[in-house]
Amino acid sequence: MIDKLQQIIQQTTTQEVDKNSNIANDLTGNVATETGSSLLDGLKSAVSGGNLGDLTNMLGNTDKNALTSNPIVKNIISSLTSKLGTNVGLDSHTASGFASSIIPQIISMVSSKVQSGDFNISDIVSSLTGGGTGTALDQNGDGKVGIDDAISAVTKGKLGDALGGLFKK
């Protein structure tokens, strides 16, 4: 699953850098690396912190503009902005603009794949945690985890109880 996410990140980042006259094309690899690490670290942090309500909300939303109000997305954008400035050398305005554009775009693409059934939420969570959470997410016991299972888990409160000890640091 991480490989599939990395492919989306690489393809989308390459396209966006090509369109952005403020970012030199020779920085594409570095920008993609920082984008990928910021996105995956942000998702891992959300899962490990038990922030599954915002994660479910995020993965259930394909509206790029609405995604920017999600706390997880805000944290990822902030992290990427910092990394693009520090590690790639982009000025703060360019870094902020790129991060604010690319992160919602990538998350929207992933959300579309979740909603269409191409990606499975339990596979995403499992790949971020190293496995072991799929059965806790399968609320209706059908062997598959969809957006309905995730919403049910969060709204009924069972997931927080089940995973509370698992994700403590």
The pLDDT value given to residue 30? 95
Positions of the chain with pLDDT lower than 50, given as ranges: 133-136, 157-159, 161-169
Token pair for residue 15? 């396209």
Give me the residue label for tokens 């998702």: 43
| Residue-wise pLDDT tens digits, 38-79 | 999 998 888 878 777 778 788 887 788 888 888 999 999 999
DSSP H helical ranges for the chain: 2-19, 28-48, 52-59, 64-67, 71-83, 92-116, 121-129, 134-137, 147-156, 158-163
Using alpha carbons only, give the angle 40, 44, 46 rounded to the nearest 5 degrees.
Answer: 120
Sole residue written with tokens 């016991």: 141
Side-chain half-sphere exposure of 101, counting CA atoms within 13 A: 13
Q: What does the domain layout of the chain look like in residue ranges? A: 2-120
Q: What number of other Cβ atoms are within 10 A of residue 91's Cβ? A: 11
User: What is the reported pLDDT for 145?
Assistant: 54
* Residue 162: predicted pLDDT: 44
| pLDDT for the residue 22 | 94
